[in-house]
Structure 1
Amino acid sequence: MLSTALSLAIIDASKSFAAHGISIDGKLKYPPDFKQFDYASDQARKGGALLLHDLGSFDKMNPFTLKGSAPSGLDYLVFETLAVASLDEPFASYGLIAKDIELADDRLSVTYTIDENARFSDGTPITTEDVQFSLNTLKSEAAHPFYQAYLQDIKGSEILDKNRIRFNFARINRELHMIASQVPIFSKKFYSEHPFDDPSMEPPLGSGPYVVDSVNPGKSITYRRNPEYWAINHPTRKGIYNFDTITFKYFRDQIVSVEAFKANEFDFMYINIAKQWARDLVGPKFDSKQIMKEYLPHRNNQGMQGFVFNLRRPLFQDRRVRQALGMAFDFEWANNKLFFNEYTRSKSYFSNSDLAAKNLPEGLELEYLLPFKDQLPPEVFTQPLTPFSTETPDSLRSNLRKAKKILAETGWTVQDGRLVNKEGKSFEFEILLVSPSFERVMAG
C-alpha cells in the first residue's frame, strides 16, 4: 500500500508528496524500490587507482569558501548532499542523506527525513542539527557569496524531531525544493573545532565515499575509498565510486599537461582544443594503441560558444546591424583553417540536446510563442533558425554584399574606405575575449 501511495503522489506534482525522489514536474524514472541507476553496472569491481589532472594549483581544503582554490574532487568525493541527481533524466534527484522528501501543498516548504544510517567518515551519525548548521553556514558570510545568492529564497529551517527538518521558502519557485536538496552537509562538531574558513590544509570531514589520503599542497591530492562508507549499497551509489584511490595531479598549463599525459603521468584527459587533438596527440604510442584516442558522442547540452552583443551599446541596438555582422563571420573558413574541421556550428543556446529549437515552432512550443507574436521578429514563425553559411551555393562575398546593403539601410555606408554613419562616425567596437586562444580567430 505504501508503494502505491508513493507512486500516485509522484505522478501529480500539484499535491503534497513524501517520496524517495523529487523532480521539477513530479515525474521520476526510478520507482521507490529501485536497486541502482541504469548507468551503473552490477559487474563493476572495486579496486585499482585512477590518476587524473587539473590545471593551476590549490591552497585550501574547503571548496565552499571564497578565498583561495580548493583541489578537484573534494566537493563530490568527500562531501554529500541531501539528494543526488540522476544522470539519465532531466531535473530529477533521489534522496541520499535524506531518505524521504516531502514538498508542502503550498510549495512553501520541504521536509527532509534523515536516513538513520547516514554517517560521516569518522562514524558519527548525521543529524538534523548538522543539516541546519550546513544551511545556516552556506547562507552566512563565512561561505562563498554564490551560496548566499543561490539559497536566498530559503528563509531558514526548523528541526521537527530527531530525524526530520523543514526548510521554509520565501516564495513559490518550482525549482526551490530541488535547490534545497543540493545543500552539502557538514559536520557541526568538526567545524566547531575547525573554523569554516580555516586557511590550513587540514583534511575536512565529510560523509562521501572517499576520504583525503594524502596532500602535496598545490601539486597533488589523493583520495582513498572509505571501506566503511555508509551508503556503499545505497541505490544512488551502488556500482559507482569503484576505484580504491583517485589522485589529481596539477600542472601549470594545458601544453605541459598534454606532454605529461603522453609520458603516462595520468590516465585520462578531455581535449577541447582542436589543435592539440589534431597535432599534439599523435605518434607511435597512439599508433600502437598504447594510448587510446576516442570521440565520446553524447546528447548532453553543450551550451553556446560564440559572440554576444552588448545591447546597451547604441551600435548594436538595431538588430539589422547584428544580422549584418553575423553575415560577415566565415565559420567554415575558421573551422577548416584554425580548428581542423573539428567544430560543429552552434545553432542554439542548448546545442547538442533535445532542448535546442529545430525547424519551425509547432505544438506546445508554438502555443507558448503565439501570445508574443507581435513582439517577435516575423521570421521566428516562417524561417527555421539557421546560421549564415559560406558553403556552396553561398559564399563569403555574397554574404558581405548582403551585409553591406543591410548596413546601408541602417545608415552605415563606405566612404573613403571607412564604414561611417551620416555624422561621419566610424563603425567601431571592442571584442572582449574569454581566453587568449580566441585571438587567432579574431586575427583570421
Structure 2
Amino acid sequence: MAAGRCALGCALVLTLMPVAQAAVPTVHGLALYDNPMLPADFDHFPYVNPRAPKGGTLVRSVQGSFDSTNPMIINGTAAAGLKALGSGLVYESLMVHSTDEPFTEYGLIASGIRLNPARRWIEFDIHSDARFSDGVPVTAADVKFSFELLRQQGLPLYRGYYADVLDVTLPNPSTVRFALAENNSRELPLILGQFPILPAHIWRGRDFTRPTLDIPIGSGPYRVTKVSPGSQIEYQRNPEYWGRDRPVNRGRYNPDRIIYDYYRDDSVALEAFLAGQVDYRLETSSSRWMNDYRGPAVARGDIQKITVKRGSPAPMQAWVMNLRNPMFQDKRVREALALAFDFDTVNRLFFYQLYQRTQSFFEDSDMGATGSPQGKELALLRTLGTKIPPAVIDNALPDNTVLHRYQRLDKAFHLLQQAGYQIKQQRLVDATGKAFTFELLLSDSGLQRLALPYVQNLARLGIQVRISVIDPAQYQIRLQQHRFDMIHDVFGQSNSPGNEQRYYWTSDYADVPESNNTPGIKNPAIDALVDALIRADTREDLLAATRALDRLLRFNAYVVPLYHAAGYNMALSRRLNRPVLQPRYGVDIESWWLTPSAGETR
C-alpha cells in the first residue's frame, strides 16, 4: 500500500515538473534569413586589410553647422562622426553589420548571442573586457539603461524600431535579455544589436533631451578631444581602446586623428579639398564632378577621382509635398506636380547625362515593383480589399519618362482641371478663386539650380512657386514643426528593409517631429504592407511586400521623383588608401588608412 502511494506520488511530481528544454546555442553572429558567412573563429572581415598601418590625420568636410554632441535626440544638430545607430567612433553597439553580406551582424560588445527558436527572446552576453573611455566597465545594466532611455527620450526612430520589445531583464550581471512580442519582425533580433550603449553612470539623473556640448563618454575606438560649435570637431584614437583586437575591428579605425571641418558653402569646402586641407569628398554634383576638379593638386596626381559601384538600392531623391497641407490632398494634383518635372532637359543641361530618372523607392534592386503584380505580390495586394482602389492592381505603374515635356504638361493641366482648378488671368485658381501657390523650402543653395527649371514648368501651368533658401538650423526647426509646403528629401534603403519602414511611411509617424515620414502619409493600406514587410519570414515574402509597398507609394504620387547616379563619385587625397577587395554591399570608409606625408603636422 505504501509502495503504491509512493509510485502515485512520484508520478504526480514528475507530471508537474517542467519538461527540460534544449539549451539555446550561443552564437557569434546573426543573419536575417540564413547563417552568417563567417565562422565563429574568423579573424577579420574579408574586405579589410588586417595589416593596415595606423597613424595620420584624416580631415573631412561637412556643410552646415552643429550645436550638440548628442546624436540620439530630436533637439539640436549633432556633430559629424556621432551616430544614432550602429557602432561608430565614440559609441558602440552590441553587434556590427558586415558590409559584405545583405544583413548579417557579428558580436562586438556582445561576446555571445542566444536567440530563442520561436524568436520570443534574445540574450546578449557582455564582453568582459568592454570598457568606456573613462575606464568604467560596460555592463548588462548599461545596456538595459541605454535601451530604456533611448526608447523613452530618444529619437522617434527608437520607438519605431523597437516597438515589439516587451521587456528587458538581466538574468545575471553580464547578460541582458530582451523579451519579444509574438509575430515580431524577423529583423528585430538583429536591429537590437544596433542601438548605442551609453554609460549609465554618466547619464543617470541628467536631462537626456537637451542638447549638450559636453565631451561624450563612449566605449568606441576614439575620444572627442576638441569641440568648436559649428566649426570643427576632432577625434583622437584611444590608445587604451578595449576592442582593438575584436575581429570586427581588426584593420579598421586606422587614423590617429579624425577631424570634421564645417563649411557654410560647399564650393568653399571644395576649394579646401583642392588645396589639400581635406582628404575626402563624396561628390553629389555632376557639374562639379565634370568641371571643378582642376588645379595643381589634380595635375600632380595628388587627387584621385573614383566611382564606386553602389551595393544597395539607389536612394529616392525627391521633391516632397506636405500632405498635411490641404492643397496636396488630391492625388490628381500630386500627379500633375510630378509630371511637371522635366528630367530629360535637366539631365542634358546640368548633369552631363550622368544621371538616370528614379522611378522606384527600391531603385536598382529586385525589391521594386515592375509590370503587373504577380504571385505573392498580387496575393498580398488582394488581402487589402477595399483599402486600395482596383486601379492599383489593374493599371500599369506610372511612368513619367515616356512622354515628351509638352505632353507631360498637357496631361498635368488636364489632371488639375479634373481636380477643380482653372486658369484665370494666367494663374491657376480653385473653385473659390484662390490661387495655387506654394513655397519650395531648401537648406542647400546648390539645389536652386535644380529647382528653377521645375518652378518655370509649374509657372506654365499657372502655379506660382517661391524658392526659399534658409539657414540649416532654421530649416531643421521648420522641418520638425512640419511648417513647409514642399522640400527636397532623400529616402535611402538597405538590402534588407524592415522596421525603419514604419518610420518612413506609416500613419503613426506622420505627425511625429523628426520622423522620416516627411510627406505625412496616412494610409491604412500602406500601414498594412509595412507590417507585412516587417513580419516576412522568407526573402520571397519580403520581396512580395517591398514590391507591393513600392507599387502603392508610386500609385499615390506622394513625391516628385528626381534622379540617381550609377554609383558613388568620390574624390580622395593620394594619402588615403583603400583595401584591394571592396565589400559587396556598400562602402566601409572605416577600413581605409592614411600614408602620412613627410613632415605631416596636421
Same fold (TM over 0.5): yes
Residue 425 of structure 1: CA displacement? 4.7
Q: Does structure 2 retain, via aligned residues, the 8 Å contact 1:286–1:293? A: no
Residue 82 of structure 1: CA displacement? 0.9
In 2 relative to 1, CA 203–414 (structure 1 residues): closer, same or farther, beyond 3 Å? closer
The equivalences for 1:102-113 within 5 A come to 102-113=114-125
2:239 to 207, 222, 227: 227
Distance 2:125 2:131 in 1: 14
Distance 1:77 1:366 in 2: 44
Residue 250 of structure 1: CA displacement? 1.8
The equivalences for 1:63-212 within 5 A come to 63-75=71-83, 76-141=88-153, 143-144=154-155, 146-148=157-159, 150-169=161-180, 172-174=183-185, 175-191=187-203, 201-212=213-224
Q: Does structure 1 retain, via aligned residues, the 8 Å contact 2:24–2:115? A: yes
Distance 1:308 1:252 in 2: 24
Which range is displaced more, 125-134 or 196-205?
Answer: 196-205
In 2 relative to 1, CA 302–433 (structure 1 residues): closer, same or farther, beyond 3 Å? farther
Q: Does structure 2 retain, via aligned residues, the 8 Å contact 1:299–1:353? A: no
Residue 155 of structure 1: CA displacement? 4.1
Q: Deviations over 1:415-438 (max 9, x none)?
A: 7756567x5757725354344524
Q: When the two structures are superposed, what TM-score results if normalisation uses the length of structure 1?
A: 0.80
Residue 268 of structure 1: CA displacement? 0.7
* Partner AA of 1:29 in structure 2: M
Percent identity between the aligned chains?
Answer: 36
Distance 2:120 2:126 in 1: 20
Distance 1:365 1:432 in 2: 36
* Partner AA of 2:64 in structure 1: G
Task: Structure 2: state its 5+ residue gaps.
Answer: 1-22, 457-602
The equivalences for 1:2-401 within 5 A come to 18-25=26-33, 27-75=35-83, 76-141=88-153, 143-144=154-155, 146-148=157-159, 150-169=161-180, 172-174=183-185, 175-191=187-203, 201-309=213-321, 319-369=331-381, 371=383, 375=388, 378=391, 383=396, 386-389=399-402, 394-401=403-410
Residue 348 of structure 1: CA displacement? 0.6
Residue 244 of structure 1: CA displacement? 1.9
* Partner AA of 2:177 in structure 1: R
Q: Does structure 1 retain, via aligned residues, the 8 Å contact 2:274–2:295? A: no
* Partner AA of 1:386 in structure 2: D
Distance 1:398 1:64 in 2: 47
Which residue in 2 is equivalent to 1:7? none
Q: Deviations over 1:343-379 (max 9, x none)?
A: 3211111223342334554454445345558845557
Which range is displaced more, 188-197 or 39-48?
Answer: 188-197
Q: Does structure 1 retain, via aligned residues, the 8 Å contact 2:232–2:262? A: yes
* Partner AA of 1:28 in structure 2: P
Distance 1:212 1:410 in 2: 55
Residue 77 of structure 1: CA displacement? 0.3
Q: Secondary structure at the match of 1:77?
A: coil
Q: Does structure 2 retain, via aligned residues, the 8 Å contact 1:154–1:168? A: yes
* Partner AA of 2:168 in structure 1: S
Q: Does structure 1 retain, via aligned residues, the 8 Å contact 2:28–2:113? A: yes
Distance 1:230 1:269 in 2: 31
Q: Secondary structure at the match of 2:401?
A: coil
Which range is displaced more, 24-33 or 69-78?
Answer: 24-33
In 2 relative to 1, CA 433–335 (structure 1 residues): closer, same or farther, beyond 3 Å? farther
Distance 1:323 1:218 in 2: 40
Which range is displaced more, 30-39 or 252-261?
Answer: 30-39
Q: When the two structures are superposed, what TM-score results if normalisation uses the length of structure 2?
A: 0.61
In 2 relative to 1, CA 209–372 (structure 1 residues): closer, same or farther, beyond 3 Å? same
Residue 326 of structure 1: CA displacement? 3.7
Distance 1:426 1:190 in 2: 56
Distance 2:321 2:78 in 1: 34
Distance 1:282 1:251 in 2: 20
Which one has more relative contact order, counting CA pairs under 8 Å at least 6 apart? 2
Distance 1:326 1:187 in 2: 48
Distance 1:193 1:377 in 2: 55
Q: Does structure 1 retain, via aligned residues, the 8 Å contact 2:429–2:436? A: no
Distance 1:65 1:117 in 2: 29
Q: Secondary structure at the match of 2:283?
A: coil
In 2 relative to 1, CA 237–307 (structure 1 residues): closer, same or farther, beyond 3 Å? same
In 2 relative to 1, CA 153–434 (structure 1 residues): closer, same or farther, beyond 3 Å? farther
Which range is displaced more, 246-255 or 76-85?
Answer: 246-255
Which range is displaced more, 287-296 or 244-253?
Answer: 287-296
Q: How much is the aligned-residue C-alpha RMSD, in angstroms?
A: 3.6
Distance 1:310 1:65 in 2: 23
